[in-house]
Structure 1
Amino acid sequence: MKKKRRCKRNPGRWRLLLLILPAAVLAAITWGYFSGEDSELPDQKITDRQKTKSNPGSQTDTLEREGVVQEPIPDETEMIEEHQIRGIVAIDPGHQGSWVDMSESEPNAPGSDIMKMKATTGTQGRFTGINEYELNLDISLMLAQELEKRGYQTVLTRTDNDTAISNAERAVLANESGADFMIRIHANGSEDAGVNGALAMAPGADNPYVGNLSDLSTELARDILDAYCNATGMVNQGVLSENTMTGINWSQIPVMILEMGFMTNELDDTRMADATFREQMVRGIADGVDIYYTKHPSSVAEMTGESSPELDSLAGTIRDQYLDARKGMGEKWAVKIQDLTYGKSTGINSDTQMHAASVIKLFIMATVYDRVYDPPSADSGIYFPEAYEGELEELVGSMIMVSDNESANTIVERLGGGSFENGMAVVNAYCKENGYSQTSMGRRFLGSNANGDNYTSANDCTSLVSAIYEGTCVNAEVSAKMLEYMKNQTRLNKIPAGIASTEVVTANKTGELSDGQLGFVENDVCIVWGAGRDYILCIFSDELNGGNSAAIEAISGISGIVYETLK
């Protein structure tokens, strides 16, 4: 028997290209007679950073043309960290010191004729005497530390009380920072000292400027408010729709305001002044961030420890040209690029579990060869009954080359001795044994199961395909056979379609879902030879609101960028 090398993953350490951006914070919103519109970014104080000119047509340029003076946002400074980043969070500590003159006006929204004060100083603790701008900053700095401990990068709109930054400028800073969303930290006030509790604000669907951000912003607001109230015991006043705040109307990313409590209420005011209680406040907000990210993973590029500046730049280009816009539509995307020639790789959401669709058939194929043809032990071997000699190979070929679902269902059922459930368990056991932790089967193809679905990740898929390419999946002979099936794939309208060359060789497997019951998905994983460098490109897309055809076009476009870079 040939010596086998199992398909093992090599996770490595994550290396991330962090974007260190200028500090500045969210403007404050107050309640009752204390409310004076949320103030945002005044002229930002930038220290120890280079300043750059604004780009024509950018939000920064628009603000300047409309008479709002803003110091340019500096270039991104690259810093390499030895851990995986989970996302980028913009934090806006509302208001600034009372001595900072923010009385000038700015447009309430892009193109709006309504002018509002750039910012206000906020309210004050009726019983503690603490200023809101001080409370907001202290909580924001603590929150940044807590989120960074949890693996996030943070962007603060201000880090002191002297910063002059208006409400519009705060939103623009967050937009241009690469952040996934913005949390605006505020405290409330009311003429009625008996009113207490926390509430959140988000743009409504009828907001003429950012109505498209309403759903995600409201979800973010609800996640953070609920977690905050659970951690602190604050009364939950719910999420309000707000369409008049400058800091919301200038946003291009999901945005919410957290009113942490009423500084005019004795209980809220004294609790928010307590150091121990502030830790609970911060922990609650961070818990809400965690909850939101579990549902909406960040599209920030996750650079592995095996990455390179070239691949880092490539991932950034993909995000800027394609993924940010798709994410803004509520879609989920993941990309993994592995340079097989130089052993480098990079990913965007590549360890995020997503609907596999027919890409899961690659793992079924690997399971077949591992369990039926070359089992790792006598106990794990499986007898596969054939109606005629060569039937199994015929089924595998049909499953991979034309993505035939009945062939796949037949294989899984026979792996389970006539039980599809047992067959799925065999596939799942294989994935677990070989380190494909995000991959699992939960339903029959074109079938439904309320308790499960078929999942994988770009990392898992790339790892399996890499093992096939290297001849280490089960053994070299089996790997060559699997590779040949992939080379004869008939569905070539995604990654292969984006390669502007007839000289390259591709081996790929697609996956797609296009009905309301099972979802809207477009996936492809492909090995490319003859492009100067051999490489693997894996692209997953899920929850497609822009339609399957648009996703196919985007996958092809991303493929073209990768090919032009690595050829």
Structure 2
Amino acid sequence: MGRACRIFAILCWLAATSAWAAEVQDVRLWRAPDHTRVVFDLSGPAEHKLITLDNPSRIVLDISDVRLKASLSGLKLDDTPIGKIRSGIREGSDLRVVFDMSAGVKPRSFALKANAQAGDRLVLDLYDLTAATVSQPPPVTKKVDAGGRRDLIVAIDAGHGGEDPGALGPNRLREKDVVLAISKELYALFEREPGFKPTLIRGGDYYVSLKGRRDLARQRQADLFVSIHADAFTRPQANGASVYALSTKGATSTAAQYLAQRENAADLIGGVNLSDKDDVLAGVLADLSMTSTLDTSLKMGGSVLGRMDSIARLHKRSVEQAGFAVLKSPDIPSILVETGFISNPAEARRLATRSYQQQMARAIHAGIRDWFSQHPPAGTLLAWQKQQGGQQYTIARGDTLSDIAQRFNVSITDLKSANGMSDTRILVGQTLKIPTS
């Protein structure tokens, strides 16, 4: 009798579970400056329907033939327009998830098919109708002084974010965390630099599409777009920092092609509606090689690479090129900086420390500053300073007077004379007047 009861119970359990075609294995929530994202990780594909209800305001997701295995109670709803999340079963095997809203939103949902990096997912984006409730970088305008001279705007893009952790290193070190830390250090350096105005493309732990990153840089009228990464390779022995620019043809190396393919697949992991169209036309990209944009990107990248050489081993001693989607702005010089291989244990240990993150940010900052000091766009404060022979340079760690003289093509004697110096001693943070070469 006992054995028969056990068999009957098993059969009942099998009959019940067979009613569900898939399971919700996890539910994750991310807050971005302009929307809230909820991601349902599924064991297989599932159909769904999105419903909006008023009085009171609710967003309803009906997911067919799915069982909720994950818990909804642990989701942090602070700083989101969601007041409460409830769930239940309808029509025998369909899952209904109800979001009780505390503020108005514009909802959008879409399914993502399983790929090499992630399984099937259902994404619900709730776009704010009013001002965002989380901190975000303030709107950037080109600051103009009394003489009509503006600052240079540098768009700093921390790669990955949100549900896309990027490359993973030892001890659960995540690329998205490392590059956001370096990006914030870089932002702080430019914030203190006269003639520059930085803006963060991603100011927190959320995902921005590759196209969205370019669009934000353009909306903020950026003079330069610099994307910060710390990728991985198939072999843990791979090491070294690199700088990349766009290639409209083929990649300059197998490693560059591999890296571009990985980065271009980020939208599949980050959760982007793949029906969204990219407005950068192939014809525009073909013309990119005929403009100064790519040439400036390569030379700017070379300046950054030269500075990185003082603190890190370089993977390649020249700027590499590949078809990175994030760099495809035809009107903004754009570079991608690989700060190191997070898959290399030794480099991962360094990348995890704030001191090394600061060193890397200082090297990138110095390389960009070096280039713009010598090639400032017309109408900028830096261009005016150069014309007046009153260009200034703030000394960074590792600088020597001879290095500065060589960089600005002036003699040490003239540099000392312009600044009233009796010897070659300099201090970090000291500002030097650069005489006309």
Tell me which protein shows more helix as a share of its residues: 1
User: TM-score category by the smaller chain?
Assistant: 0.3 to 0.5
User: Normalized against structure 2, the TM-score is what?
Assistant: 0.46
